A = this chain, B = another copy of it.
Amino acid sequence: MKKNIQLIKIHPEDNVKIVVNTDGIKQGTRLEDGIIIKENIPQGHKVALRDFKKGDKIIRYANVIAYAAEDITQGAWINENNVRLPESPKLENLEFGTNIKKYEPLEGYTFEGYKNEDGSVGVKNLLAIFTCVQCVEGVINKAIEKVKNNILRNYPNVDGIVPINHNYGCGVAINSPDAKIPIQTLKNLSQNPNFGDLLVLSLGCEKLEANKLFKNEDKKTIILQKESGFEEMQDTIISAIKSSLKKLNRRKRKEFPLSELVVGVQCGGSDSFSGITANPAVGYAVDLLVQAGASVIFSEVSEVRDGLNLIAPRIKDKKVAKKLKSEIAWYDDYLNSGDVDRDANPTPGNKKGGLVNIVEKSLGSIQKSGTLEIVDVLGPGEKLNNRGLNFGATPASDFICGTLQLAAGINLQVFTTGRGTPYGLAAAPVIKVSSRSELKEKWKDLIDINAGRIINGEVTIEEVGKEIFNYVIEVASGEKITWADKWKIENRLCLFNPAPVT
């Protein structure tokens, strides 16, 4: 691709092109192939490459993304107002296992991490403070504030203190079938490998008792109802924190094979370029990571649902196919029970960025998963069990997806964004990849890698993919720090709880 190019087409079969120019393309512009632009069309939006009759297929990524809702002239703007949403792929029609790629392992890649007692390896040296119920949050936050302001600096090898605050634990339907999800999430979250030590805070009368979450009873559990008032609570908590910090401060990084590394990928604030630049570059990095032995989890059911016909052929075996169908069917039911329009996922920002509907968004989103075999499907809150590429069946919400990927055991996350979001996690580094150069130019101190350079031909998808791959290893080894970590941007975790509150 060259500079000044104004439109790009992703696949030869596509009958639309995407406007690249920041200011869009003006009515009356004559394209190289003679097409005349019929109206002003903004950046990221689609131009009709031919005349469409009402009902004709609109094709991008070599897939039907929509049907023309009216006659559309060549050179006109294709947008959410003149298209109709296709049906989702039917679960019973999916073809599984027909596109399993063979690949050579990439040998010799390692990272420097922290070995935990349970054998897992962290990329950070964190103390997690785990709450059993929201009642204790006000008290624990005060103690952490004091430690961060006055004490933490004495333990320079400790990366931080992470409160696992949540709204679960009491006032919830703990025996409802769907309550399994938040409970297993909390259980597995407490085992995230980036937590070198864990302190447990209980009120003492909550439904979600500490022993329902933690196996070894010797976990340091502080029960507030046993303490004599607020000041004693503060003393008890701070002294427990200090003794953990002392222990953590002695840890050192050691070299491990990439098979000990778990990477999550997700997107947020996507635009029409996400599927051309950032997501395919991440997909390329995902292929490299998996070839080098690492595990990767991609997620976001509502952004995969409409591209399942592309995912199913990469599913390893019948058992995994069955798991995929059951997780997707559960999610279909969940959305139906709330009368959710499936096309409610693209946000106003997505649409402004040129995505006409959930199908177009999905086809862009699943580029993040690369091209290799999918060895397992995880239900929401389940822990990684099989090394390699996994699909984690989570909501697309950045915070719920982030929380569930942490529960699955990710060490770090690669996050693509087009519109821009300043997202960060306290528990894991987040590497932010922008889909457009404009975003990187504006958010110099928030975006780690700019995949927008792919559009104008400065670099290739493969080059950015390689860059992301190397960046992941450097961040995992503590050699590079993400912008989100530099500023300590810590978005709060959010549990997925489909069960009622009481």
Name A residues whose Cβ lies closer than 8 Å to a Cβ of B.
Answer: 134-139, 141-142, 149, 165, 167, 170-178, 203-207, 209, 224-225, 228-231, 233, 268-269, 302, 334-335, 337-341, 344-345, 347-350, 352-353, 395-400, 419-424, 442-446, 483-484, 487-492, 494, 496, 498-502
With A204-B349, A205-B348 as known contacts, state yes or no: A501 contacts B229, CB within 8 Å. no
Q: Which of B174, B233, B396, B484 contacts A502 (CB 8 A)?
A: B396
**Out of B231, B398, B442, B499, which one reaches A171, CB within 8 Å?**
B398
Q: Which residues from chain B contact A397 at a C-beta distance below 8 Å?
A: 167, 170-172, 501-502
- Interchain CB contact under 8 A, A500 and B498: yes
Which single residue of chain B is at the shortest CB-CB distance from A489?
B138
Q: Which 5 A-B pairs have the closest CB atoms?
A: A205-B349, A171-B397, A138-B489, A338-B500, A173-B340
Bound: A498/B340 CA distance, A = 12
Question: A230, B269: Cβ atoms under 8 Å?
Answer: no
Output the least CB separation between A302 and chain B (Å). Answer: 5
Given contacts A135-B268, A445-B229, contact A490 B339 (CB under 8 A): no
- Given the complex of chains A and B, what is the CA–CA distance between A442 and B231 in angstroms? 11
Q: Check A338–B135 contact: CB distance below 8 A.
A: no
Copies in the complex: 2
A22 CB → nearest B CB, Å: 15
- Contact A173 B335, beta carbon cutoff 8 Å: yes
B139 touches A422 (CB 8 A): yes
Can you list 29 A-B contacts (CB < 8 A)? A135-B268, A135-B491, A137-B492, A138-B424, A165-B492, A167-B400, A167-B494, A170-B347, A170-B398, A171-B395, A173-B338, A175-B341, A176-B339, A177-B339, A205-B347, A205-B349, A205-B421, A206-B348, A209-B348, A224-B422, A225-B419, A225-B420, A229-B442, A229-B444, A230-B443, A230-B446, A335-B502, A395-B501, A397-B501
* Cα(A498)–Cα(B484), bound, Å: 32
Q: Which residues of B contact A490 (CB under 8 A)?
A: 138, 141
Chain B residues within 8 Å of A173, by CB: 335, 338, 340-341, 344
Across-interface contacts of A177 in B (CB, < 8 A): 338-339
Query: Taking the nearest CB of chain B, how far is it from the CB of A391, in angstroms?
Result: 17
A27 to chain B, nearest CB (A): 26
- List B contacts of A209 (CB < 8 A): 348
Q: Could you tell me the distance between the alpha carbons of A490 and B144 in the complex, rounded to whole angstroms?
A: 13
Q: Chain B CB within 10 Å — which of A135, A231, A396 has the most? A: A135
Chain B proximity of A129: nearest CB distance (Å): 15
Q: Assuming A268-B135, A338-B176, A399-B171, is B344 touching A502 (CB within 8 A)?
A: yes
Whether B229 and A446, one on each chain, are in contact in the complex, defined by CB atoms closer than 8 angstroms, is yes
In the complex, which residue of chain B has the Cβ closest to the Cβ of A138? B489
Given A345-B502, A422-B233, A445-B229, are A352 and B205 neighbors across the interface (CB < 8 Å)? yes
Take A442-B228, A445-B230 as given contacts and tell me if A347 and B206 are in contact as well, using a CB distance cutoff of 8 Å: yes
Given contacts A171-B396, A269-B205, contact A142 B488 (CB under 8 A): yes
Closest residue to A483 on the B side, CB-wise? B230
**In the bound complex, how far is the Cα of B337 from the Cα of A488, in angstroms?**
40
CB–CB B400/A175 < 8 A: no
Which residue of the partner chain, among B135, B349, B489, contacts A206 with CB atoms under 8 Å? B349
- The docked-state distance in angstroms from the alpha carbon of A400 to that of B224 is 21
Question: CB-CB < 8 A to A442: which residues of B?
Answer: 228-229
Contact B347 A419 (CB under 8 A): no
Most buried by B among A139, A231, A345, A421: A421
Residue in B142, B229, B421, B491 whose beta carbon sits within 8 Å of that of A443 in the complex: B229
Question: In the complex, A334 Cα to B142 Cα: how many Å?
Answer: 36
